[in-house]
Amino acid sequence: MKPLPFTSFPSCFAAVIFAALGAWPLAAQAQTDEIQVYTGELAAPGEFSLTLHNNFTFQGATTAELPGGIVPNHSLNGVPEFAYGVNEWCELGAYFFVYSRTHDAHYLADSAKLRATFAVPHAEKLSFFYGVNFELSRNARRWDRKRITGEIRPIVGWRSGPVDFIFNPILDTTFDGLSRLDFAPAIRLGYNFSETWAAAVEHYADYGPLNHFLSGNQQQQSLFAVIDYSGKTNVEFGIGAGLNSATDKLVVKLMLGWPLNH
């Protein structure tokens, strides 16, 4: 299939979002494999890359949210993510497999995911940029109440000099109706010291289904301090604190990324 020209991108972007919202609608899950704000940066056309996501809960809930589920406290969650740059505005990714090391030293395979990310070309160089990410997951029962779940993640960002602000108003779905879409936004405010180093504050939340937000003491709310390094190995390290009793108190995340071809 011949790629769409970029002049068609804005209209295609809007059409895909509205079509997905009409057809899709995730119950909040305590466990996650990926703690990340999507910035709209894509792999170069023809480039393969590998990113290893890991997060460890130093202090969290001591009971599982689901029957037979994973206890967050002292658990490690992660996933290897393979990505391919299709063209300047499209990247495809596959996650095989989401894994956990439980507090009692058991290793588990929890989920597999596919994703497609569309973004304005060269978002990292623009003062205003946008995109959208779609994910489809198949989950073990201990990981999620539903076998099949999905994510719609719009990406909107502004950049002024070394400062950037990025908003991901994420909608999660269990494919059970538009009103049950779960609103779990992520926000990043970053400062780029150079092309190599950056620091950021990131906020992650889960407010619950659109038709009935959770009460304040049930919502997920966490704040991360993050350091990024871009080099032969890309590194993102963050320390996160839960802001209320419903959120794990202390979580550390580490992402390591490499291009697999040039």
- Each residue's pLDDT tens digit, 252-261: 999 999 999 8
Segment 183-230, tens digit of pLDDT: 999 999 999 999 999 999 999 999 999 999 999 999 999 999 999 999
> Does the structure show a pLDDT above 70 at 172?
yes
What pLDDT sits at residue 2? Answer: 35
CATH number at residue 209: 2.40.160.40
Tally of structural domains, the chain: 1
Place 13 in a pLDDT band, splitting at 50, 70 and 90: very low
What pLDDT sits at residue 248? Answer: 95
Segment 77-92, tens digit of pLDDT: 999 999 999 999 999 9
**141 within some domain:** yes
What pLDDT sits at residue 31? Answer: 64
Better pLDDT: 24 or 157: 157
**1 within some domain:** no
Better pLDDT: 66 or 155: 155
Place 32 in a pLDDT band, splitting at 50, 70 and 90: confident
> Does the structure show a pLDDT above 90 at 119?
yes
**137 within some domain:** yes
> Does the structure show a pLDDT above 60 at 47?
yes
* CB-based contact 33:98 (threshold 8 Å): yes
Summary mean pLDDT of the chain: 88
Q: Supply the range of the domain harboring residue 175.
A: 6-259
Alpha carbons 83 and 91: distance in angstroms, whole number: 7
Between the alpha carbon of residue 72 and those of residues 94, 146, 168, 200, the distances in Å are 25, 19, 24, 25
Place 30 in a pLDDT band, splitting at 50, 70 and 90: very low
Closest by alpha carbon to 171, among 9, 10, 22, 13?
Answer: 22
Place 144 in a pLDDT band, splitting at 50, 70 and 90: confident
Q: Considering the chain, what percentage of its residues have pLDDT values greater than 90?
A: 76
**156 within some domain:** yes
Highest-confidence segment of 109-113, 138-142, 155-159: 155-159
What pLDDT sits at residue 200? Answer: 98
Arithmetic mean of pLDDT, 15-34: 45
Arithmetic mean of pLDDT, 156-180: 94
What pLDDT sits at residue 145? Answer: 84
Query: Quick one: 243 exposed, middle or buried, by C-beta within 10 A (0-12, 13-18, 19+)?
Result: middle
